[in-house]
Amino acid sequence: MSEKGKLAKSPPVGAMSNLTLATNDTLPPRPERERSQLQQFFSTFGGKSKSTEQNKEGKGNDLMVRRWGPPGSPRYEMVMRYWLATRMQQHWDYLRYQHPRDFKHYMEKGYMEPIPTSWVLSGNLARLYPDYSPWETRAEKRLYYLLNNGATPDGSKHPTLKPLKVAWHMQQIIARGNARNARQVHLDAEKLAAYWSPGDVFQSDKQIKSHNYSDQVPNVVYAARQAALHELAEGIQHGTDHLETMLLIDVSSSMTWNPHQGMTGPDGIRRYHDQPSNIRLVEHLVHRILQHMIPRAQKEHPGQYGIETVTFSSYGNAIGQLSSSRFQYDWASKVQLGGTTQIMRGWQVVKNTYFNHQNQLYGHGRLDPDFGWQATPGMPKLSLLVFLDGEANDMDEFELELLGETWAYVTIALVGMENCPHHHSHAVELERVARFNPHVGFYDVHGRVCERMVVEDLLSSMYPVDPPQYSEILKPEFDLPPEQLPKYSAY
């Protein structure tokens, strides 16, 4: 190499001296220097990430405050209770921090709030989607979103739930109904010998040929439901909770169909059944149940002579108290049959009746201008018994509503036809509701029924404290005498 080259590649003497000084006296050893550079890099990166997280959280919080008011305001606290009740708090917080656009999207669609009263009255969530949509209604889409993204009552994992659409999945619907039907078993012979009654409605129906009781699918009370009832029982026993009771009864046209004349299902097949109509069975069950409910209500309210009752079909109707002493007159004069099946209309009347009573007499409840009545601390719980046949047009909306209502404990009795796949398909859906909502108990009743057994099951779900026992259930005076039974021959 030439001298010129050597000079070109050599630093000036002063520079070399400074470099040597810096290397020996200022710079740390190489491994420490690399470690310091990495720490600086990650510190910078982490700072930006933390800043981004804080920015996302700030946007989410701003959205919440603009829509529901500041934390501590009635609307904000109502929404937070709804998140807890639907077990969606973790999911909504995840979207708020990680996916603010999705958070805003579902907020604006109303998924994070109770169902507005105006939506119920207008049927907003019950409107049908086009045939090409995998969803039948908006309520169904929202319901499955909550079920698939919320925590389960017992903390377990489950496969993604997907609805079956009648237009697309008729064979699957029939298959799952038949599969459940295959789970039917004979009633326990020893218990049946004690519980059977000549007053069971099918015994007096002259069109019914068989006098054998129908096989039934065993009802399941899930562990989460048992835990919820146990917690309620403890509250009642310690005086921190109180229980009121009401009835909600389906009186739509489908309840009056005569099984002997045949019933055509969604699959187009006409099936014939040797049993009473659904409404006749419900009439008898309600008569028996009142014998047990009224004395329990009178312990708290001595002047009460019956049980507050709401019927529903195309609209909800508060018919006042049904009494046991003049039951046949009350039923004939107050219960009007016919119309379509819209359970949300009945549910809204139940809520308004119950909250108006609690608010006027005891000051409980708060009326939100958009979302209707909201429970307040110390308000008694409602134990509601529902009879229906599963044909409700807005059933998904009802299930969705119940997810967020922690003040109500609902027992659903699905009445239907023996060996009918459509009845059992409805039962599958209601079993799912009970599995995901510990405030809901579900019982399937179909065919020729041992009414005392059914009454015992339903009331054990309604009353976590002091349910009727064997000796009370079997009191013969709670039966209509056979000679006084109406001679049913139609619907």
Q: Are 403 and 146 in contact (CB under 8 A)?
A: yes
Given a cut of 50, is residue 19 above it in pLDDT?
A: no
Pairing relationship of beta strands 316-322 and 307-312 according to DSSP bridges: antiparallel
Residue range 460-484: mean pLDDT, rounded: 86
Nearest residue to 144 via CA among 443, 432, 405, 442: 432
Read off the DSSP letter of residue 439: T
pLDDT at 116 over 90: yes
Reported as a pLDDT band with limits 50, 70 and 90, residue 361 is very high
Q: What is the DSSP string of 93-136?
A: HHHHHH-HHHHHHHHHTTTTSPPPHHHHHHTGGGPBPPTTSS-S
What pLDDT, in 10s, does the model give residues 288-347? 999 999 999 999 999 999 999 999 999 999 999 999 999 989 999 999 999 999 999 999
The beta strands (E) that lie in 330-474 are given as 366-368, 372-374, 381-388, 408-416, 440-446
Q: What is the pLDDT of residue 484?
A: 53
What is the residue whose two structure tokens read 């800043």?
51
| pLDDT bucket at 491, cuts 50 / 70 / 90 | very low
Q: CA-to-CA distance for 215 and 289, rounded, in angstroms?
A: 22
Distance CA 33, CA 28 (A): 6
- Position 43 confidence tier, pLDDT thresholds 50, 70, 90: low
For residues 31 and 476, the model is more confident at 476
Residue 108 predicted with pLDDT over 50: yes
Residue 32 has pLDDT above 80, yes or no: no
Residue type, 139: A
Please state at what angle helix 30-68 crosses helix 89-98, rounded to 10 degrees. Answer: 120
Residue-wise pLDDT tens digits, 158-214? 899 999 888 898 899 999 999 999 999 999 999 999 999 988 999 888 889 998 999
pTM of the predicted model as reported, rounded to 2 decimal places: 0.87
In this prediction, residue 166 carries a pLDDT of 84
**Tens of pLDDT, residues 376-431:** 999 999 999 999 998 788 999 999 999 999 999 999 999 999 999 999 999 999 99
pLDDT average, residue stretch 107-128:
93
Per-residue confidence (pLDDT) for residue 86, from 0 to 100: 97
316-322 β-sheet, strand order: 316-322, 307-312, 243-250, 381-388, 408-416, 440-446
pLDDT, residue 479, reads 82
Please name which of 183, 158, 197, 337 lies closest in space to residue 255, comparing C-alpha atoms: 337
Q: What pLDDT, in 10s, does the model give residues 44-85?
A: 545 545 555 556 667 888 999 999 999 999 999 999 999 999
Amino acid at 64: M
pLDDT for the residue numbered 5: 43
| Paired sense of beta strands 263-264 and 270-271, if any | antiparallel
Region 442-469 average pLDDT: 96
Read off the pLDDT band of 156 (50, 70, 90).
Answer: confident
Domains annotated on the chain, with CATH: 46-108 (no CATH), 166-484 (3.40.50.410)
DSSP assignment letter at 185: B
Q: Quick one: pLDDT band at residue 26, thresholds 50, 70, 90? A: very low
d(CA 406, CA 248): 18
Closest residue by Cα to residue 349 from 308, 410, 303: 308
